[in-house]
Amino acid sequence: MKFSFTDEQHEFRSVLRRFLEDKSPTTEVRRLMETDQGCDPEVWRQLSQELGLTAIHIPESYGGQGFGIGELAISVEEMGRALLCAPYFASTVMAATAILKSGSEDQKQLLLPDIAAGETIATLAISEESGVWSPDGVAMTAKRAGDGYRLNGVKSFVLDGHTADLAVVVARREGSSGDNGLSFFTVACDAVGLERTRLKSMDPTRKLARLSFKDVEASLLGDEGGAAGPLGETLDVAAICLANEMVGGAERLRESAVEYANMRVQFGRAIGSFQSLKHKAADMLLEVELAKSAAYYAAAAADENDEDVSAIASLAKAAAADAYMQTAVHTVQIHGGIGFTWDNDTHLWFKRAKSSEVFLGGAAYHRERLMQEWNV
């Protein structure tokens, strides 16, 4: 399998990095993370309509660009590097993928063009109060009501759920368990009976919400009771994209640590010349490069429909989670006392590293899943 980047992909990365350096400096990140919306509408318009990023992996027949997971992975890696505050992961990565994997042809034609254009912000609601990202954690129920369905239950840790226009929701038939009886539904976020509450979280750059459903009207997405397979495929893509986003942030932290170590002088010499800090720098480089290889390989595996993509996705997520968190810790330590302060920007990536570590399941969960997939 070839998983190196083409010249066009390198150029795409370069253009996107310049755009994000201009539109998402840390001063802007700090401003947006204090707002309820957590996004600049003008930057979102430019991302979607001028750069076409919200349409990148959506097929052209549904108003998209028709690229693959490889290009989507480059996008989220650069956004993770810049800590972009926008509902991109919720809408483009998670919700659009769920619709692509589960929806009928008519449903894709109806829902995807507006998501691709950035006019509809969607989100995917899976996890509940237990924080489990698997079918076993889904307790929300769906019951028939005339020609539609009614949903009852609570979804937690929903990305940008408090500002989204459309929610793709996983619920189950009453009395079912495990993979059985799971279905996808679409819900307008202004529906009667839906209460949305923004959650306080450690990472203010990534907004989370709690959605409470009380007899909320919903439309079935795809086949009734057939969501288990598409849900797994959607979570694989999400894990791969999150791994790539994390290696982008980890690389940015590593660069800042090395830059500071070469600039900070103690005892008449740069602290980067001290052997202990050389070891830390070497450890960070090794961890980040290994995680990059796993993340890039996972994106290539998804594009080629590799039969082991679920295991590879978990491998990438676990490797990236460890590398990002360890790099964040080392970066704080290399900065010394200033690294613990609010004025220093390191804590922004440290918090994103921690939130990303547990989102979609922690490293231990994905290692266990990897062993189950490969029967180790």
> Which of 84, 81, 98 lies closest to 48, judged by CA?
84
How sure is the predictor about 175, in pLDDT bands with cuts at 50, 70 and 90?
Answer: confident
Q: Taking residues 270-298, what's their average pLDDT?
A: 89
How sure is the predictor about 2, in pLDDT bands with cuts at 50, 70 and 90?
Answer: low
pLDDT value at residue 1: 63
pLDDT of 29 strictly over 70: yes
Give ranges for CATH 1.20.140.10 in the chain.
Answer: 229-373
* CATH number of the 122-226 domain: 2.40.110.10
The predicted-structure confidence for 96-138, as pLDDT tens digits, reads as follows 999 999 999 999 999 999 999 999 999 999 999 988 888 889 9
Percent share of the chain, pLDDT over 90: 81
Read off the tokens for 192.
């009667």
pLDDT value at residue 264: 80
Read off the tokens for 62.
């549904």
Q: Which residues pair with 187 in a beta bridge?
A: 167
Give ranges for CATH 1.10.540.10 in the chain.
Answer: 7-116
Distance CA 208, CA 206 (A): 7
| 76 touches 89 (CB < 8 A) | yes
pLDDT of 317 strictly over 80: yes
Encoded amino acid at 130, one letter? S
Average pLDDT, the chain: 93
CATH-assigned architecture of domain 229-373: Up-down Bundle (1.20)
How sure is the predictor about 373, in pLDDT bands with cuts at 50, 70 and 90?
Answer: confident
How sure is the predictor about 26, in pLDDT bands with cuts at 50, 70 and 90?
Answer: very high
The predicted-structure confidence for 66-80, as pLDDT tens digits, reads as follows 999 999 999 999 999
pTM of the model: 0.95
Query: What CATH class has 7-116?
Result: mainly alpha
Least confident of 44-48, 297-301, 331-335: 331-335
Read off the tokens for 369.
């899943």
How sure is the predictor about 253, in pLDDT bands with cuts at 50, 70 and 90?
Answer: very high
Distance CA 196, CA 212 (A): 6
Q: Taking residues 145-158, what's their average pLDDT?
A: 94
Give ranges for CATH 2.40.110.10 in the chain.
Answer: 122-226
